[in-house]
């Protein structure tokens, strides 16, 4: 009778052991579920995630090329940033399309067409010249200087190329290079008024204002209608504290450039030097009318509203030094190698 009892006891022990194993397995499964990388999504309301220092923040893999949205940037701006880049049609007439884009002031597209033309026919000086102008007008002065120099490597007799290289180098802040380019133009054409003006501008920018005045006199002797030359001359006289010659020069500039805001501001400063405060206030007001963002003119006008007979301590408006360009965007662009027909 004792044997059946042992048998039953054995069965009981096995049953208990099996139960323990099942319970342990269940605990392990639950534990593994709690530590998986991909969370289980229960049918309950989401609970905000808790961040601890031990958990890395989630990032997109760099290899996906995914652009993360900047919450500080508007959706419209992000859409505009994502617009496709202009692509040149390889079947197009690069010169004609480039000229059309240039004339309509689509300078980036013009540059793209002229790059394609320069690649197709790299030995044509005119192509590199008009490419340089397109790059410059689209805001890429560095490449513009390189393209203009390439044009001059192919044809060193281009006065306009040297003149425009001087403009580009002044805009880049490369004043010594700008002066060299202007001097090279004058070697080819000593009476070129624009080259003398750009020589003056370059000299002013390197700090040689006395020699700049002489260059301006030469320039105006050949072209008295250059309002920017009168403006730069007036600016130098203002900086020297010479009211009468400053006012005379700035009046000449304002007559020729009546719609340029900074010229009116400089006129006001010259008139103020001579004590003509009412006229100075009118010039400042005209400057603000033409350019509401001209803070210097607005401050000068506000100061004169109290009729304080003091010349302002701030330096004259430096804008004309970097904005004394005389190119006309309405000049025709002609597909020719004749320098006389190339646009300024």
- Is there a domain that residue 308 lies in? yes
Q: Tell me, yes or no, whether 142 lies in a domain.
A: yes
In a domain, 207, yes or no: no
| Residues 54-107 pLDDT 10s | 222 222 232 233 333 344 444 445 434 434 467 878 878 999 999 999 999 999
Average pLDDT value for residue range 164-173: 97
Q: Is residue 180 part of a domain?
A: no
Q: Quick one: 152 and 230 in the same domain?
A: no
Determine, yes or no, domain membership for 44: no
Per-residue model confidence (pLDDT) at position 292:
87
Q: Which of these three, 103, 135, 156, is where a domain ends?
A: 156
34: in domain? no
Which tokens go with 198?
């750009």
Contact between 235 and 321 (Cβ < 8 Å): yes
The total of other beta-carbon atoms located within 10 Å of residue 327's CB is 15
Domain boundary among 156, 176, 207: 156
Mean pLDDT, the chain, whole residue set:
76
Q: For residue 148, is pLDDT > 70?
A: yes
Total domain count, the chain: 2
> Above 80 in pLDDT, residue 113?
yes
pLDDT tens-digit map of 296-340: 998 998 888 765 445 445 544 444 433 333 443 334 444 333 333
pLDDT at 8 over 90: no
pLDDT at 263: 96
Percentage of the chain lying above the pLDDT 70 cut: 64
Domain that holds residue 94: 84-156
Residue 198 placed within a domain: no
Q: Which tens digit of pLDDT belongs to each residue from 236-275?
A: 999 999 999 999 999 999 999 999 999 999 999 999 999 9
State pLDDT tens for residues 185-231: 999 999 999 999 999 999 999 999 999 999 999 999 999 999 999 99
Give the DSSP letter string of 233-275: HHHHHHHTT-HHHHHHHHHHHHHH-TT-HHHHHHHHHHHHHTT
Last residue of a domain, one of 156, 186, 217: 156
CATH code of the domain in which 297 resides? 1.25.40.10
Question: In Å, how far from its chain's centre is CA 128?
Answer: 22
Residue 39 lies in a domain: no
């Amino acid at each position: 009778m004792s044997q059946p009892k042992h048998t039953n006891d054995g069965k009981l022990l096995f049953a208990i052991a099996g139960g323990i194993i099942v319970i342990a397995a269940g605990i392990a499964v639950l534990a593994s579920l709690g530590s998986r990388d991909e969370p289980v999504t229960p049918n309950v309301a989401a609970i905000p995630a808790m961040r601890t220092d031990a958990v890395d923040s989630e990032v997109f893999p760099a290899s996906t090329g995914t652009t993360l949205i900047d919450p500080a940037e508007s959706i419209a701006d992000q859409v505009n940033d994502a617009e496709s880049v202009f692509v040149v049609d390889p079947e197009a007439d690069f010169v004609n399309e480039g000229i059309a884009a240039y004339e309509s002031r689509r300078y980036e597209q013009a540059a793209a067409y002229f790059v394609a033309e320069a690649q197709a026919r790299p030995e044509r000086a005119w192509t590199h010249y008009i490419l340089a102008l397109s790059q410059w007008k689209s805001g890429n002065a560095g490449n513009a200087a390189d393209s203009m120099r390439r044009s001059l490597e192919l044809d060193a007799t281009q006065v306009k190329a040297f003149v425009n290289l001087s403009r580009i180098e002044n805009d880049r802040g490369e004043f010594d290079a700008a002066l060299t380019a202007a001097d090279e133009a004058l070697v080819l054409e000593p009476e070129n008024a624009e080259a003398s003006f750009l020589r003056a501008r370059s000299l002013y920018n390197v700090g040689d204002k006395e020699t700049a005045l002489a260059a301006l006199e030469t320039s105006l002797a050949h072209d008295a209608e250059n309002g920017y030359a009168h403006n730069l001359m007036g600016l130098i006289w203002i900086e020297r504290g010479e009211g009468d010659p400053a006012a005379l020069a700035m009046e000449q500039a304002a007559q020729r450039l009546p719609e340029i805001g900074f010229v009116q501001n400089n006129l006001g400063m010259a008139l103020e030097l001579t004590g003509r405060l009412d006229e100075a206030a009118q010039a400042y007001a005209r400057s603000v009318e033409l350019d509401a963002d001209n803070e210097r003119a607005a401050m000068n006008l506000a100061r004169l509203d109290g009729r304080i007979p003091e010349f302002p301590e701030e330096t004259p408006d430096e804008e004309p030094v970097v904005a004394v360009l005389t190119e006309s965007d309405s000049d025709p662009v002609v597909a020719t190698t004749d320098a006389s027909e190339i646009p300024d």
